[in-house]
Chain A
Amino acid sequence: MSGNKEIKNLKAFSTAAERFEGSHVLCPGCAHSIIVREILNATNDNMVVSASTGCLEVCTAIYPHTSWDTSWIHIGFENSSTAIAGAEAMNKALRNKGRIPADEPEPKFVAFGGDGATYDIGFQWISGCFERGHNMMYVCLDNEVYANTGGQRSSSTPIGASATTSPAGSTSYGEKRNKKDMLQIMAAHGAPYVAQVAPNKWKDMAKKIQKGFDAEGPVYINAMSACTTEWKFDPADTITVSDLATDSLVFPLYEIIDGTELNITYRPKNIVAVRDYLAAQPRFKHLFTPKYEYLIDEWQKRVDAQWEYLQRREEARV
Chain B
Amino acid sequence: MNSKIMELNKVEVWDGNMAATQAMRQADIDVVAAYPITPSTPVVENYATFHANGYIDGEFVMVESEHAAMSGCVGAAAAGGRVATATSSQGLALMVEVLYQASGMRLPMVLNIVNRALASPLNVNGDHSDLYLTRDSGWISLCTFSPQEVYDMNLCAFKIGEHMDVRLPVIVNQDGFLSSHTAQNIYPLQDKEACDFVGEYKPLNAMLDFSRPVTHGVQTEEDWHFEHKAKQHDALMNSTKVIAEVFAEFEKLSGRKYNFVESYKMEDAEIAIVVLGTTYESAQLAVDKMREEGIKAGVVAIRVFRPFPLKEVSDMLQNVKAVACMDRSAPGGSVGALYNEISGALFNSPARPLLSNIIYGLGGRDMTIGVLCDIYRDLDAEAKAGKLNGSIQRFVGVRGPELKYYKV
| Chain A window 218-257, contacts with chain B (Cβ cutoff 8 Å), 1 for yes, 0 for no | 0000000000000000000000000000000000000000
Instruction: Select one of A19, A63, A74, A124 contacting B65, CB under 8 A.
Output: A124
Is A132 an interface position by the 8 A CB rule? yes
Interface residues of A in 25-67 (CB under 8 A from B): 46, 48, 50, 57-58, 61-64, 66
Main secondary structure of the interface of B (DSSP, over half): mixed
Chain A residues, CB < 8 A from B224: 63-64
Check if A150 is an interface residue, CB within 8 A of chain B: no
- Residues of A within 8 Å of B, CB-based: how many? 45
Among B61, B65, B73, B101, contact of A76 (Cβ-Cβ < 8 Å): B101
- Please state if A131 and B64 are interface contacts (CB–CB under 8 Å): yes
Question: Which residues of B sit under 8 angstroms from A84, Cβ to Cβ?
Answer: 75
Nearest neighbor of B212 in chain A, beta-carbon distance: A71
The answer for the CA separation of A96 and B72 in the assembled complex, in Å, is: 19
Q: Is the CB of A87 within 8 A of B79?
A: yes
Q: Would B65 and A57 count as touching, CB distance under 8 A?
A: no
Q: Which of A121-156 contact B (CB under 8 A)?
A: 124-125, 127-128, 131-132
Interface residues of B in 335-367 (CB under 8 A from A): none
- The listed residue with most B CB atoms (<10 A of its CB), out of A57, A66, A83, is A83
**Cα–Cα distance between A256 and B61 once the two chains are bound (Å):** 27
Beta-carbon contact of A73 and B30 below 8 Å: no
B74, B79, B97, B215: the one within 8 Å of A66 (CB)? B215
Given contacts A63-B218, A63-B224, contact A87 B75 (CB under 8 A): yes
Contact residue among B31, B74, B97, B217 (Cβ-Cβ distance under 8 Å from A93)? B31
- How distant is the Cα of A86 from the Cα of B59 in the complex, in angstroms? 10
Q: Does A13 contact B (CB under 8 A)?
A: no
**Bound-complex Cα distance A61 to B61 (A):** 29
Q: Does A132 lie within 8 Å of B63, measured CB to CB?
A: yes
A115 adjacent to chain B (CB < 8 Å): no
Known: A57-B219, A100-B208. A90 touches B30 (CB 8 A): yes
CB-contact partner of A78 in B58, B67, B76, B210, under 8 A: B67
In whole angstroms, how far apart are the Cα atoms of A57 and B64 in the complex? Answer: 25
B72 touches A63 (CB 8 A): no
Taking a contact as CB atoms under 8 Å apart, the answer to whether A128 and B217 are in contact is no
Q: Is the CB of A93 within 8 A of B59?
A: yes
A100 closest partner in B (C-beta): B208
Asked whether A181 is an interface residue with its Cβ less than 8 Å from the other chain, the reply is no
Q: Given A57-B219, A94-B30, is A82 in contact with B208 using a C-beta cutoff of 8 Å? A: no
User: In the complex the two chains form, is A90's CB within 8 Å of B80's CB?
Assistant: yes
Residues of B within 8 A of A190 (CB): none
Assuming the A-B contacts A66-B218, A73-B75, A107-B208, are A89 and B80 also in contact, with contact meaning beta carbons closer than 8 angstroms in the complex? no
Q: Which residues of B contact A86 (CB under 8 A)?
A: 31, 33, 61, 71-79, 83
Give every chain A residue within 8 A of B71 (Cβ-Cβ): 75-76, 79, 82-83, 86, 125
* With contact pairs A94-B80, A97-B58 given, residues A72 and B213 touching in the complex (Cβ less than 8 Å): yes
B320 → chain A closest CB, angstroms: 45
Flag if B213 contacts A87 (CB, 8 Å).
no
- Check if A76 sits within 8 Å of B97, measured CB to CB: yes
A62 touches B64 (CB 8 A): no
Closest to A70 in B: B213
Q: Mark A96-121, 1 if CB is under 8 A from B, else 0.
A: 11011000000100000000000000
Which chain A residues border B81 with CB–CB below 8 Å? 90, 93-94, 99
A274 interface hit (Cβ, 8 Å): no
What are 8 A-B residue pairs whose CB atoms fall within 8 Å in the complex? A71-B209, A73-B217, A79-B98, A90-B76, A96-B57, A96-B59, A97-B57, A132-B63
